[in-house]
Amino acid sequence: MANYAIGDIQGCYQELTLLLDKINFNTSKDKLWLCGDLVNRGPDSLKCIEFLYSIRENCFITLGNHDLHLVALAEGVIKSSKTDTLDKLLRSPNIDLYINWLKQLPFIHNDTITSQGIKKEYIMTHAGIPPHWSLEEAKQHSLEIKNSLSSFNYCKHFLKNMYGNEPSIENGDLSKEERLRLYTNYFTRMRFCNELGEIELMHKGNPSNAPKGFKPWFKHELAIMKRSTHLLFGHWAALEGVTGVSNITALDTGCVWGKKLTAIKLEDGRVFSCNRVN
Ligand SMILES: [Mn+2]
Query: How many A from CA of 126 to the centre of ligand 1?
Result: 7
| Mean pLDDT, residues 105-114 | 97
pLDDT at residue 209 in the model:
87
Average pLDDT over the chain reads 97
Q: Are 104 and 146 in contact (CB under 8 A)?
A: yes
The one-letter code for the residue type at 16 is L
The residue with greater pLDDT, 278 or 85, is 85
pLDDT band for position 176 (cuts 50, 70, 90): very high
Query: How many A from CA of 36 to the centre of ligand 1?
Result: 7
Query: How many A from CA of 174 to the centre of ligand 1?
Result: 25
Query: How many A from CA of 66 to the centre of ligand 1?
Result: 6
Query: How many A from CA of 257 to the centre of ligand 1?
Result: 13
Query: How many A from CA of 116 to the centre of ligand 1?
Result: 30
Q: Report CA-CA distances (Å) from 27 to 53, 112, 113, 248, 269.
A: 13, 20, 19, 27, 20
Q: Which residues are registered as beta bridge partners of 239? A: none
Q: Is the pLDDT of residue 278 over 80?
A: no
Q: Is the pLDDT of residue 116 over 90?
A: no
Q: Is the pLDDT of residue 31 over 80?
A: yes
pLDDT at residue 123 in the model:
98
Query: How many A from CA of 140 to the centre of ligand 1?
Result: 21
Query: How many A from CA of 185 to the centre of ligand 1?
Result: 10
**% of the chain exceeding 90 in pLDDT:** 97
CA-based end-to-end distance of the chain: 32
The one-letter code for the residue type at 145 is I
Residue 116 CA to residue 85 CA, distance in Å, equals 40
What pTM does this model have? Answer: 0.98
Residue 276 CA to residue 62 CA, distance in Å, equals 23
The pLDDT tens digits of the residues spanning 200-244 come to 999 999 999 899 999 999 999 999 999 999 999 999 999 999 999
pLDDT band for position 117 (cuts 50, 70, 90): confident
Q: Are 247 and 2 in contact (CB under 8 A)?
A: no
**% of the chain exceeding 70 in pLDDT:** 100
| Side-chain half-sphere exposure of 27, counting CA atoms within 13 A | 7
| Mean pLDDT, residues 93-117 | 96
User: Which domains, ranges and CATH numbers included, belong to the chain?
Assistant: 3-275 (3.60.21.10)
Query: How many A from CA of 265 to the centre of ligand 1?
Result: 22
Query: How many A from CA of 189 to the centre of ligand 1?
Result: 6
Q: Is the pLDDT of residue 173 over 90?
A: yes
Query: How many A from CA of 35 to the centre of ligand 1?
Result: 9
Query: How many A from CA of 186 to the centre of ligand 1?
Result: 11
Query: How many A from CA of 149 to the centre of ligand 1?
Result: 18
Closest among 263, 210, 256 to 241, alpha carbons compared: 263
